[in-house]
Amino acid sequence: MEERIYLLPKEGNFYKANMHCHTTVSDGKLTPEQVKEEYQKKGYQIVAYTDHGKYCPHPELNSKDFLALAGFGTDRKEEGTFHFNFYDGSPDERKEEKAEVCSPEALNDGTSGINAYIKKMKQLGFLATACHPYRSMQNYNDYTGLLGLFAMEIYHYRSDLEGLNGYNPQAYDEMLRCHKEIYCLASDGNKNDYPMEDPFSDSFGGFIKIKARELTYPAVMQALKKGDFYSSMGPDIHSLYIEGKDLVVKTSPVEKIYMKMEGKNCRMKIAPQGELLEEARFPLTGREGYIRVVCRSENGLYANTNAYFLKDLPLKSITEQET
């Protein structure tokens, strides 16, 4: 059996997380406690509380089966719209300083001001995510100049409900093709203006599955920083690894599995009519630049892995083919 290089770790557990959430601390309709209760009912173990302009950790919500990630959201609304979420890697450190940085004027100083703010937040231990670029009516020139990002939202469920503009894989690929080695997130962005059973409910539409050794703050943050997660609207990705010179992905039953790469072409496996797939194997040549897997279920829901740049992987036997 050929050696496997696991892109999603072999060991650990998958934990389901909503990475964009608003509560009564800002403009949401549910309290932090109610959000925890509702999301636990749906099998979530993690919620990142990202209330607008208010950094408000909720350690009181943490338990052996639930983790509240500390964070906040902030906007730039002059000369174009940006929204960023920041996730705190060490909420027990520098608390007073963090509480003062949620509504920065620097975001209104153009791209240079935004990048300076992201750099400052990274120094405080935060991970920065650019949110819903499609909903924010952004284009290539707006976001490709951003530096120091941890991730970009590839799917924002609330935006899909509001205007069918929540799914933006093109923006993520544009960042990757500019050699921005960032991850992608699917999230809800929920404010819960409607009951959970209402068709307009903005909960439970976008999530990530984090592969971590345990459900603790340090373990989950370490997994996030390493990119040990995938994003989804529904389908599950059970495993992702390189075996020999092939990329192998195993999923819940889906209609299509694609391997996207830096160029315009991609490799694909599509189920015959009336059937579904649970696995695909794609050959690698060493010329892909980056690779990422996209799955689509029979009802049109997508799952996306993060991108993996071949130059960063121990793939000597493959990359030697390029020369």
Tens digit of each residue's pLDDT, the chain (323 residues):
578 999 999 999 999 999 999 999 999 999 999 999 999 999 999 999 999 999 999 999 999 999 999 999 998 766 558 899 999 999 999 988 888 888 677 677 788 989 999 999 999 999 999 999 998 999 999 999 999 999 999 999 999 999 999 999 999 999 999 999 999 999 999 999 999 999 999 999 999 999 999 999 999 999 999 999 999 999 999 999 999 999 999 999 999 999 999 999 999 999 999 999 999 999 999 999 999 999 999 999 999 999 999 999 987 656 555 54
Residue 86: phi and psi, rounded to 5, are -125, 125
Is residue 256 within 8 A of residue 271, CB to CB? The reply is yes
Q: Dig out the tokens for 232 from the structure.
A: 């989804």
Tens digits of residue pLDDT in 183-198? 999 999 999 999 999 9
In angstroms, rounded to a whole number, what is the distance separating the alpha carbons of residues 158 and 205?
Answer: 8
Instruction: Provide the 3-class DSSP secondary structure of residue 112.
Output: helix
CA 164 – CA 135 distance, rounded (Å): 9
- What pLDDT shows up at residue 62? 98
Cβ neighbours of residue 231 closer than 8 Å, sequence gap 6 or more: 154, 155, 184, 185, 186, 206, 207, 208, 303, 304, 305, 306
Per the CB < 8 A criterion, the answer to whether 309 and 227 are in contact is: no
**How many angstroms separate the CA atoms of 25 and 175, rounded?**
32
CA atoms within 13 A on the CB side of 109: 10
Please tell me whether residue 306 adopts helix, strand or coil conformation: coil
pLDDT at res. 321 = 55
pTM recorded for the entire structure: 0.95
- What is the rounded distance in angstroms from the CA atom of residue 317 to the CA atom of residue 290? 16
Q: Residue 108's pLDDT is what?
A: 74
pLDDT for residue 317: 57
Distance CA 23, CA 25 (A): 5
Dihedral of the alpha carbons of 212, 252, 230, 157, in degrees to the nearest 10: -120
Q: Tell me if residue 313 falls in helix, strand or coil.
A: coil
Per-residue confidence (pLDDT) for residue 101, from 0 to 100: 82
DSSP 195: -
Other beta carbons within 10 Å of 31: 12
Length of the chain: 323
Do residues 128 and 148 touch, judged by C-beta distance below 8 A? yes
| pLDDT at site 106 | 65
β pairing state of 183-187 and 151-156: parallel
Domains detected in the chain: 11-233 (3.20.20.140), 235-323 (2.60.40)
Closest CA to 216 of 11, 69, 19: 69
